[in-house]
Structure 1
Amino acid sequence: MNGASGDMGKSVSAIVVESGRVLLTWRDSDGERRLTLPGGPACPGESPEDTLARYVKAQTGLDVRAMTLAGFHFGLKSWNAAFNCQLLGGTLNADSQYMSVDEALRRKDLGELTRLMLAGHERALEKDEIFEMKNAGSLYL
């Protein structure tokens, strides 16, 4: 999706874990094919949950629901929120696959934001720091 139809500064990523393996999808970025978490930029007025469900379905063929906030990465003009997701159904397409977080982090073709989000997710799991998202909040800088 390009900037004309979505806001490239506000994006979401899905962390879908089944049997200890995380869902990744192949995406072309800067002329290179990279493994990334499924997700993408939001359309104006679209909720993060709706954006996430739309991208995961389009990129992987799977239906998911956002459950908890897993990570938040931000820069001066953009942010990405990663959500732990529950798998609801669907059929995995050929451009997507499950692999262990350790295996994914060892790959050279893993996207950088995906690397950051997975490393943070792994640390949180080790420390049991995943939390239920009961209320929304704001961060003001």
Structure 2
Amino acid sequence: MHTRVTGILIEDGKLLLLNQGTDGPRSWSLPGGRVEDGESLEEALVREMREETGADVEIGRLLYLCDHVDAHVVHITFEARRTGGRIGDVTQGADTRPIRGVEFVALEDLPSRGFSDRFVQLCRDRFPGAGSYMGPKHTIGL
């Protein structure tokens, strides 16, 4: 299994998302990526958020830990708070899949971007049970 970190950055009721080709049915996803050798989880997420969105962030609470057994991936997701940077200032070539767009999407519009009602409710409720192992990724609606 490899480790992947993702960030939940919500401002004014909107979640920061990437429009990018994925292995699943959604083209919109949370920013993040693989933890590289020698990186801490925090270092990896700060780097990934900067490369993929242009945002400089501070890492907050651990929100959830999930696994995607078929893909041999452990997903670790943190709350993120923007400290600077410019949204959309993507580092070209840093990602294996081209990023087509970066935007803040209103929580109520997430289902039209392929996110489940369960995931929207978790965002609205600020992830009750934060810091827990949530089981397979689909249990949180992803």
CA contact (8 A) 1:53 1:65 kept: yes
Which structure has the higher relative contact order (CA within 8 Å, separation 6+)?
A: 2
Give the length in aligned residue pairs.
120
Aligned-pair identity in percent equals 25
* Structure 1 residue 65, shift from structure 2 partner: 1.3
Unmatched segments (≥5 aa) in structure 2: 90-100, 134-142
TM-score between both structures, scaled by the size of structure 2: 0.70
Give the aligned residue type for 2:84: G
TM-score between both structures, scaled by the size of structure 1: 0.70
Cα distance in 2 for partners of 1:123, 1:17 equals 10
CA contact (8 A) 1:53 1:64 kept: yes
Unmatched segments (≥5 aa) in structure 1: 1-7
Q: 1:18 aligns with which of 11, 32, 41?
A: 11
Superposed, 1:1-141 pairs within 5 Å as 9-30=2-23, 34-76=27-69, 77-93=72-88, 95-108=101-114, 118-119=119-120, 121-122=122-123, 124-125=125-126, 129=128
Tell me the alpha carbon deviations over residues 6-35 of structure 1, each in whole angstroms, 9 at most, x when there is no partner: xx7210111001111110011122498711
* Structure 1 residue 124, shift from structure 2 partner: 4.0
